[in-house]
Amino acid sequence: MIAICNNEGACGIAATGASLARGDLALDAIEAGIRLVEASEEVRTVGRGGWPNLLGEVELDASVMDGTTLRTGSVGSLTGYLHPVSIARQVLERLPHELLVGEGARRFAAEIGAEAGELLMPHARSAWQRWLETEVSAAEQARWPDVPMAELCQQAIDPETGRDTTVFLAQDVEGHIGAGTSTSGWGWKYPGRLGDSPIIGAGSYADSRYGACACTGVGEMSIRAGTSRAVVLYMKMGMSVEEAVHEAVEDMRALKGGLIGRVTIHAIDRQGGHKVVAVNGLPENHYWLWRAGDAAPSSHPCEIIAISDVPAPKPTAHRRYEQMGL
């Protein structure tokens, strides 16, 4: 048995490990861990407390994948509900579909009695309001929100560096492998933007015959490269988990133009091996690991591989306000 998660999953990985130790299914253990991350107001890129979009709304994305059945469930651009990972799980369990977004996702959440709640916490509300007042012209404020937003969303190239999204991978005692993701996406994103988290094959993929992979960071890169599916496919072709992740890194080197930044690739194989690589990463990039018999999860540094020069983050308003504790 094994479970790994990115650095943002610190408050949930122990619950996932304990669930696996009790003999629970991989997806049950993953959901239990991610729900704790979603509920934490200290985690500012997942669930309650996440940064809002340009309109000041917190939009959540999440996914789960059962590596034994290859069934998936995802939700995107979900507002007003506290645990998108559980709603994604119910998409898998109850619907013939794989992905719901926007109003459809909200309708389904209400239908199944999912827990509703306020997502925009005071720190995020204050930062967004200050951004609006200082970065948007008086003329545009007067017409808000009926203004062009394409240029405003360029500030989204300054994500919470190395600390965005949460991803969990696990293998249970029966050998079933699962993957789960949850995120509020980038702060100040264009409304309706989906990153890789709800996109199966990009942000996550699991196949109990070979292994699983999930990504954090610049989701646009993982979408373009199909990173998570690629890693599992490379393992199917006979590569080790380490070789598969490194081959996926090479795929990312082919990306030209568009948004290029930081991506962390997390992967496990069916033998209980794992590999985590931070593409264009920072020294503080790390992940959490739990194995059967461990008293507690442990933190480990990611391997850092540079594939391009990443511009220094812009001192955008929301980062300044976060640094001020707002």
Per-residue pLDDT of the chain (326 residues; tens, 9 = 90+): 999 999 999 999 999 999 999 999 999 999 999 999 999 988 888 999 889 999 999 999 999 999 999 999 999 999 999 999 999 999 999 999 999 999 999 999 999 999 999 999 998 899 899 989 988 999 999 999 999 998 887 754 444 444 479 999 999 999 999 999 999 998 889 999 999 999 999 999 999 999 999 999 999 999 999 999 999 999 999 999 999 999 999 999 999 988 888 999 999 999 999 999 999 988 888 999 999 989 899 999 999 999 876 655 554 555 554 544 44
What does residue 20 show for φ and ψ, rounded to 5 degrees? -65, -40
Residue written as tokens 């239908």? 111
What distance in Å separates the CA atoms of residue 178 and residue 168, rounded to the nearest whole number?
8
Residue 165 catalytic? yes
Among 16, 68, 165, 216, the one annotated catalytic:
165
Give CA 258 to chain center in angstroms: 20
- Predicted TM-score (pTM) of this structure: 0.91
Question: Secondary structure of the chain: what % helix, strand, coil (to 5)?
Answer: 35, 25, 45
Amino acid identity at 252 = M
Amino acid identity at 280 = N
Strand 99-101 versus strand 211-217 pairing type:
unpaired
Residue 200, Cβ density class (10 Å: 0-12 exposed, 13-18 middle, ≥19 buried): buried
CB 153 within 8 A of CB 54: yes
Q: Which helix (H) or strand (E) holds 168?
A: strand 166-171
**Hey, how many other C-beta atoms are within 10 angstroms of the C-beta on 148?**
7
The two most distant CA atoms of the chain are separated, in Å, by 61
**Looking at residue 169, what DSSP letter applies?**
E
Count H helices, E strands: the chain? 10, 13
Structure tokens at 191: 């409304």
